[in-house]
Amino acid sequence: MSEADFPGAASLLGALPPDPRASNAVGAGSFHAMWAELAPIGRHADSGGYRRYAWSGADADCRTWFQAQAEARGLTYETDRNGNQWAWLGDPLAGDAVVTGSHLDSVPDGGAFDGPLGVVSSFAALDELRRRGTEFSRPLAITNFGDEEGARFGLACVGSRLAAGQLTKEKAYELRDADGIGLPRAMEAAGYDPEAIGADPERLARIGAFVELHVEQGRALDLSGDRVGIASAIWPHGRWRFDFRGEANHAGTTRLVDRRDPMLTYAATVLAARTEAALAGAVATFGKISVEPNGVNAIPSLVRGWLDSRAADQATLDTVVTAIEKAARERADQDGIDLGIVRESFTPVVEFEHALRDEMNRILGGAVPVLGTGAGHDAGILSAAVPTAMLFVRNPTGVSHSPREFAAEDDCVAGVLALADVLEGLACR
Ligand SMILES: [Zn+2]
């Protein structure tokens, strides 16, 4: 496929020679065709990025595409009570199923690969296995989990969280988008029954293994010179809201010494977050802010900033966030600012199942790099209930959640073949 098939792609192609099996694999051709079909859906003409938000028109088009792929392959298609899509080869009720898939929704102006690469690769891997004449001894399913990115309602992995019982129906009903539309209304408008949502333990109990292929959201594989890697763990991460309250006043007439300006405290806290994260080898980001009264000529009365922080382990994350909070409180005292800090969400470390991870590494020849990630995934949510693993495909830019997100064609095909090998190894034993 040409670079035009990869919107926003940088010309950073891998230095590795093509996988010699790629030219024979049917997976490569079917990957290309599916990728071309999916590429225009929800793509914004100006930014080149994707706006595939949960239960939107673009999301519906992606879902229609998924169903068509399932039906074209003679798979049994269904949506579950939470609106996640499933395409089954074999008996969905038999149990011990091998499931693969990812998500088709996007962040605002997201890249083409985060999510769709896993879904497209799943169908392509199945095509490859059919070319090989693989006989399956376990049911196989491909999934598209709904609302993974949380771009519309502010909570990530809604479809898998609901299924796993980590988000209750009551809490889900409180979710609102920027226009004030609630999740139930949005689901209903898209033709789904919001009354049905909730934990789905019977469905999860029928899954023997879940493998999610995903574009890497960092440069570890680029640096190691590998096309494909296996996930070790998802870093623990959380979101904290910092409310800095001062006093609104005139920007022209209020002497500096008389001000209680929460923007100063906020700014110092941002710098402290950077310093503490760097010291600990973690990450910390203030990426969202709201200001009141939000006037050019007004000293703010309130600055509200959201901290996202992640680290390789819980102790490190605790250390970083505690240090940021301490710095913020000390500065708030100096500035005469009232500070409130609320932890809005938290996801503990997810260690992917070692036995499945080791088996995948054995299936793939034993030399596949194993790497951690700071990004959350449906696989991480499901890991509480199901043996779960992830495959990563090299992303030479390391950029994600941006139109610059990229994976080269050879690497995508290598991902399809690795996934096909893993599914064959798991589902034919
Ligand atoms: Zn994703």
pLDDT tens by residue, 358-398: 999 999 998 899 998 888 899 999 999 999 999 999 999 89
In the predicted structure, residue 7 carries a pLDDT above the cut 70 = no
The percentage of the chain sitting over the pLDDT mark of 70, rounded to a whole number, equals: 93
The CA 249 to ligand 1 mean position distance, Å, reads 44
Per-residue pLDDT, averaged over 306-331, amounts to 97
Q: What is the DSSP letter of 194?
A: G
Report the pLDDT value the prediction gives residue 21, as an integer from 0 to 100: 63
The CA 381 to ligand 1 mean position distance, Å, reads 12
Per-residue pLDDT, averaged over 11-18, amounts to 41
The CA 115 to ligand 1 mean position distance, Å, reads 4
Report the pLDDT value the prediction gives residue 379, as an integer from 0 to 100: 95
Phi, psi of 287 (to 5 degrees): -110, -5
In the predicted structure, residue 6 carries a pLDDT above the cut 80 = no
Angle between helices 57-72 and 116-132 in degrees, nearest 10: 10
Per DSSP, the residues of 283-331 read EEEEEEEEEES--TTEE-SEEEEEEEEE-SSHHHHHHHHHHHHHHHHHH
**Tens-place pLDDT, residues 341-356:** 999 988 889 999 999 9
Phi, psi of 121 (to 5 degrees): -60, -30
The CA 214 to ligand 1 mean position distance, Å, reads 7
The CA 179 to ligand 1 mean position distance, Å, reads 24
Query: Which residue, 247, 379, 239, is CA-closest to 302?
Result: 247
The residues that bridge with 393 in the sheet, in sequence order, are: 215, 228
Length of the chain: 429
The CA 293 to ligand 1 mean position distance, Å, reads 36
Phi, psi of 238 (to 5 degrees): -150, 170
The SS3 call for residue 210 is strand
First to last CA, the chain: 34
For residues 159 and 167, give the distance between their C-alpha atoms in angstroms, rounded to a whole number. Answer: 9
The residues that bridge with 233 in the sheet, in sequence order, are: 351
| pLDDT confidence bin for 20, thresholds 50/70/90 | low
The answer, as to whether pTM is greater than 0.85, is: no
Report the pLDDT value the prediction gives residue 211, as an integer from 0 to 100: 98
The CA 217 to ligand 1 mean position distance, Å, reads 9
Report the pLDDT value the prediction gives residue 244, as an integer from 0 to 100: 98
Report the pLDDT value the prediction gives residue 347, as an integer from 0 to 100: 85
The CA 305 to ligand 1 mean position distance, Å, reads 25
- Give the pairing type, strands 338-347 and 298-299: unpaired
The CA 97 to ligand 1 mean position distance, Å, reads 22
**Tens-place pLDDT, residues 106-142:** 999 999 999 999 999 999 999 999 999 999 999 999 9
The CA 216 to ligand 1 mean position distance, Å, reads 9
Report the pLDDT value the prediction gives residue 367, as an integer from 0 to 100: 87
Per DSSP, the residues of 134-185 read PPPSS-EEEEE-SSSS-TTTS-S-HHHHHHHTSS-HHHHHH-B-TTS-BHHH
Per-residue pLDDT, averaged over 96-113, amounts to 96
